[in-house]
Amino acid sequence: MLLQTPIPQDYLRLPSGSLDDRISAAKAALGDRLTILGHHYQRDDVIRYADFTGDSLKLAQLSQSRPQADYIVFCGVHFMAEGADILSQPHQQVVLPDLSAGCSMADMAHPDDVEECWDALTALLPEQTLVPLTYVNSAARLKAFVGRHSGCVCTSGNADSIVAWALEQGHKLLFFPDQHLGRNTCYKLGIPLEQMLVWDPRQELGGNSPEQLAAARVILWQGYCSVHSRILPAHVARVRAAHPGVRVLVHPECPFETCQASDAMGSTEYIIKQVQSAPAGTSWAIGTEIHLVSRLARRHPEQTIVHLDDCACQCATMYRISPQHLCWCLEELLAGRVPNRITVDPETTLWAKIALDRMLERS
């Protein structure tokens, strides 16, 4: 991951009113040449400028509804900008306002480690067909890896259908990088916990015996989201005691025990739709990133909406995208300079696109 070089100090000293004026002016001057994408977990003082809001894949796809745009500014994290570049038109350039905006979960599955895992498993189990599946929250190289090996990409919204397809294709599923999404989805599809193993890339054979690997149906990478993994069953019990009648709604990146203790589990888009369709007076405790929960609470004052985790943890890397970085980025584009361009090489793009298309065909 590249680190952001310091932006000019003048931007960091700008008062909020001046920032707003300059961002709005730059956006207006760039006009149709610009599309700004804002992920649901983005801070409010940035997402207000977004042309589209959504999850990572939805945003990458929505950006293509503006083929006239020369610049796609992705207010999200690195793997999201990579996804936008993979799906972009040849003339379009994707920009990430702060290069330090990464994803700790995506970084937990390094492509070299996944390749080593794959080689070990295929050598150990030559008679068994192994199907690789990567969560969309992963590096472009991993999307290309599953594309080359007849695997697929999934999102938290289509994980049920994609995992079901993968389980039909072979003897075993290798799922990365988020063990919790993999475990929650496979259990929902009827795979018992005892048929799932966790692969620790720091240990030989992932910390498992050859016999365990031979018997397992699902091998889960030892990765997790630093925000969702901290939401625990104790939080569910506490909020039920404090808010009788509350409905607990969590993201499937939360730990298995938390999801089992909740009333419903689903993707970010699922969570939003559940709240939007609920009647006035509904009480929710939502287990996902704090900016989205707070935004839902403001937009639906007719309902009671609280964050399930009382510490209200934010996505620290997403938060790196600030109004100051966005302003600098847009004014650089106006000056004819393209800062922080995110590019994916042609070979990786080819195979990653095959994996994404494979997913879209089966969603």
**Number of neighbours of residue 44 by Cβ within 10 angstroms:** 11
Structure tokens at 120: 């070990």
Q: What is the pLDDT of residue 62?
A: 85
Q: Which amino acid is at 115?
A: E
Q: What is the pLDDT of residue 215?
A: 97
> pLDDT of 189-246, one tens digit each?
999 999 999 999 999 999 999 999 999 999 999 999 999 999 999 999 999 999 999 9
Q: What is the pLDDT of residue 112?
A: 97
Distance between CA atoms of 61 and 68, rounded to whole angstroms? 14
Which residue, among 95, 34, 38, has the nearest Cα to 68 in the 3D structure? Answer: 34
Q: DSSP H helical segments within the chain, as ranges?
A: 9-12, 16-30, 44-47, 56-62, 78-87, 104-107, 111-124, 140-148, 159-169, 179-188, 210-215, 233-242, 256-261, 268-277, 290-299, 323-334, 346-362
User: Omega before 339 cis (within 30°)?
Assistant: no
* pLDDT surpassing 60 at residue 1: no
Q: What is the pLDDT of residue 63?
A: 82
- The highest-level CATH class for domain 9-102+317-344 is alpha beta
**Number of neighbours of residue 61 by Cβ within 10 angstroms:** 16
Q: What is the pLDDT of residue 317?
A: 79
> pLDDT of 97-133, one tens digit each?
999 998 999 999 999 999 999 999 999 999 999 999 9
* pLDDT surpassing 80 at residue 3: no
Q: Could you tell me which residues come within 8 angstroms of residue 269 by beta carbon, excluding any fewer than 6 positions away?
A: 54, 55, 58, 157
The answer to whether 221 and 199 have CB atoms below 8 angstroms apart is yes
> pLDDT of 263-316, one tens digit each?
999 999 999 999 999 999 999 999 999 999 999 999 999 999 999 987 666 787
Question: What's the mean pLDDT in 175-201?
Answer: 98
Please provide the size of the chain in residues.
Answer: 363
Task: Tell me which architecture the domain covering 228-307 has in CATH.
Answer: 3-Layer(aba) Sandwich (3.40)
Distance between CA atoms of 141 and 149, rounded to whole angstroms? 12
> pLDDT of 318-337, one tens digit each?
888 999 999 999 999 999 99
* pLDDT surpassing 70 at residue 65: yes
Superfamily in which the 106-225 domain is placed by CATH: NadA-like (3.40.50.10800)
How would residue 2 be classed by pLDDT, with cut points 50, 70 and 90?
low
Q: What is the pLDDT of residue 4?
A: 79
Look over the chain and give the mean of its residue pLDDT values, rounded to a whole number: 94
Domain residue limits, the chain: 9-102+317-344, 106-225, 228-307
Which residue, among 86, 135, 146, 85, has the nearest Cα to 107 in the 3D structure? Answer: 135
* pLDDT surpassing 70 at residue 61: yes
The pTM score is: 0.93
Q: What is the pLDDT of residue 314?
A: 72
Asked which of 45-59, 146-160, 330-344 is least confident by mean pLDDT, the reply is: 45-59
Beta bridge partners of 75: 38
